Amino acid sequence: MVGIVIVSHSHVLAQGVCELVRQACPGGVSIAAAGGTDDPDQPLGTDATKIHAAIEQVGPADGVVLLVDMGSAILSAETAIELLPPNLHGNVRICAAPLVEGAVAAGVTASSGGDLETVIREATRSFSAKARQMGQDVSVEEVEGAQPASGASEVTVTMRGANGLHMRPAAQLVQAASRFQSTISVRNVERPESPSVSARSLTEVSTLGVGQNDRVAITADGPDADDALVALRELFERSFDEWDESAPQDGSEEEGERPQGVLVGVAASDGVAIGPAIFWSPAEPEVVRRTVDDVGAEWERLRRAIEQARREIDSLRRAGEASSDRATSQLMVAYELFLVDPVLVGKAHHRIIAERVNAESAWQWAIQDACVRYESSEDQYTRERGGDIREVGRRVLCLLAGLDVAPPTLEEPHILLADELDPSVIARLPAEKVLGIALARGGPTSHAAIMARARGIPAVMGIGRSLRTISLDTLVAVDGHRGYFFPEPDDANLRTLRASAEELRRQLAEARAKSLEPAVTRDGVAMRVLANVADLATTCAAIESGAEGIGLLRTEFLFRTRRDAPTEEEQYASLKEIVEAAAGRHLVVRTLDIGGDKPVPYWKFGREANPLLGQRGIRWCLEQQAMFKTHFRAIFRAASHGPLSVMLPMIASSHEVHLAKQVFVEALSELEKEGLAHDAKIKLGIMVEVPSAVELIEHLLEEVSFVSIGTNDLSQYAMAADRTNAHVASLVDALHPAVLSMVRRVVIAGKAAGRPVCVCGEVAADPLAVPLLVGLGVREVSVSPPAVPRVKEAIRALDVKRAETWAKEACRFDSADEVRHYVEGRLER
């Protein structure tokens, strides 16, 4: 990390700037103060020896930036640099940025991994940003010494996506731009009045109003400008890998043909629902502007609320990722980017400092300012994004006010009515308790509509405020195909609606019957399609979807929804239910995988600089011998009720397997002595999620009966990119040739050792990946329950010999994008 030294004539000022930077950089920053002198009679001044000591304290391995206040501070800083060894002089730089703004910009950039040149550039341009915010016309070139715009590289691309550059593709653009050192800006060519905005700001990019077929100019200036333009142009050329989010067509008849008593809205999610109504209003915090004395404490309040909101949204993202719910996971990535958007957060921070107002008032102002820009757009899709950012903002305001942001509690199945619904609320609703959704506002392209479709919940939107007049438990009906909402439907309407619902059920039954058939390729090669599950409900859903077994049962559900650790009896009872629900199908239980991005509140993991590289999975369990043995005992006892194997997560070496086996054997021995029913011949397997496990796979296969490749973690470790970090998550792609080659090696080794190999990562549900996995020799996959039918269909359409050729070719490419384009081209033929 680049170090920062604050040089000031005042000791207090230097310390204060350091504290401000630390608060602005919760992830940590290397910074030191070198202010004032040690002379009590002349405390104001600068001292080269103190500056020299501060430089040595923070660096200079990755470089050091010195920010100075005025006059002799520059001379003292230059003298301090001269005191360093000559080979370090070029690695320590004095920056001409304003002290306070420059220090904050430098700290944020350094803590995000920026190199020395990037930190200096971002610190220097902080003055021009402030000047523009205050309405002053200041040339960026004049202030930061940047190259003239004419020296920058530029490409023009076309936005092909049906909904334009809306929030999700904008989030991908921001993620991609953040990987480069160059200064990158974008503008909408179709709107001459549209300004160039930073490609690193989601709120700025999303308000450009870029629609389908609009041209976008991308400008990059810096050491990797050409690479940046190639990467961003490729994003546009492949339409940001957008999934089909088309809404059901509005099938409403002419006015005279509408049923009696119907309220006409917008068809948002197909299906028919009939049931009692419940209207839900989320907590609405009251914001009162107050003047505050301690602006640092107020900024810290806001920062903590934003961070808590980010953690909650990240939890939803992980849940979506774990269940292969791409709609949820990608929407939550975009929500996270809103919460770390430097423009949005910077405006709130500036308002707290400049106007000495409370956090609630500053944050509300920043959110409203962003919403105005969204909602003034001529494009409907962009206007609807205003509701998204308002919901993100409301979540932070609720946390500041101590209000509950949980979704509604439904004891019995209902049709949920509301003015609007945050997609994160829909993501947490129990599907079995929500028969349908009817909203006063919103349209078919709103994220609430997208989420309703993703979860298969019938929905109608844009009905109006009359929904508020409907009493609790009033019988209502939703027709998500025609966009109709029936308050208290009469007998004739009920007959029609029930007939429509029955026809839908018949169609679903036909589809389910097909999903129960085996998955066999066109040339007669059988594949086993299993399911990844997280609890009893998802196990039942897996069986319904046609899964031939459970390839991965995540046992974290036993631990994460409690205030204390579950007992052996509690674990056993829950696991027994799941084994019985599997109805004789084989079940693979993964032992507890917590730590990293999966904490448990009652176990303190301690602060780790890189938690995904720390005490997680098997490492944590081996540190908790008593807990681990209890866990094994519960699993072994559950195995007496049906076929079951056990699997260890995050194995990196044979030594870890040996240690786990000791606990494994002790648990079995104890159960034998106590006479408790259990399976003494239970098989042990491992997850291959760490590159070292791939390298040692032949040795590991000697220790276990089977392996399962977890491509989600394997991809992030192979690419050295944290998949929970919105800025680099796009690098984590299991279709990267490096990951595919790892899969191939494990499959070959498994075949040679006579050990089954399953792929249970999210990639197994990707239609573009299925042919490659089959071609690599994979004969068993485990996916989320909803994905089982479509994976089986994809397998049935394949010819193994052709798939083998595709897989061999794919491993020769250089990137995941090339692999995707190659497979897409083959499938289209």
Distance of alpha carbon 436 from alpha carbon 413, whole angstroms? 9
User: Is 760 labeled as catalytic in the residue annotation?
Assistant: yes
DSSP H helices in 112-224? 116-124, 126-133, 140-144, 167-177, 202-206
Catalytic residue among 18, 540, 758, 760: 760
Residue 679: what are its φ and ψ, rounded to 5°?
A: -105, 110
Buried b (16+ CB within 10 A) or exposed e, 666-681: ebbeebeeeeeebbee
Tell me how far the alpha carbon of residue 349 is from its chain's centroid: 25
CA dihedral 647, 652, 656, 657 (to 10 degrees): 40
User: What residues pair up with 158 in beta bridges, in sequence order?
Assistant: 215
The neighbour count for residue 522, using CB atoms within 10 Å, is 12
CA dihedral 449, 453, 454, 457 (to 10 degrees): 110
Residue with tokens 């050329």: 237
Number of H helices and number of E strands within the chain? 32, 25
Catalytic residue among 9, 166, 447, 736: 447
The answer for residues whose C-beta is within 8 angstroms of residue 555's C-beta and 6 or more apart is 571, 575, 589, 590, 591, 592, 593, 631, 635
Distance of alpha carbon 356 from alpha carbon 429, whole angstroms? 39
Contact assessment for residue 271 and residue 504, using Cβ atoms and an 8 Å cutoff: yes
Distance of alpha carbon 586 from alpha carbon 754, whole angstroms? 19
Q: How far apart are the first and last CA of the chain?
A: 49
Contact assessment for residue 783 and residue 759, using Cβ atoms and an 8 Å cutoff: no
Buried b (16+ CB within 10 A) or exposed e, 309-337: bbebbbbbbbbbbbbbbbbbbbbbbbbbb
Contact assessment for residue 364 and residue 393, using Cβ atoms and an 8 Å cutoff: yes
- Within 13 Å of residue 156, how many CA atoms lie on the same side as its CB? 6
User: Is 481 labeled as catalytic in the residue annotation?
Assistant: no
Q: Give the Å distances, CA to CA, from 604 to 276, 318, 413, 667.
A: 44, 21, 37, 25
Residue with tokens 């919403």: 371
Tokens of 312: 């909650």
Taking phi over 0 as left and psi of -120 to 50 as alpha, with beta for the rest, 240 belongs to left
Tokens of 231: 């990467």
Nearest to 99 by CA among 221, 223, 15: 15
Residue 216: what are its φ and ψ, rounded to 5°?
A: -125, 130
Tokens of 426: 């829909």
Distance of alpha carbon 335 from alpha carbon 687, whole angstroms? 31
Active site amino acids = 447, 760
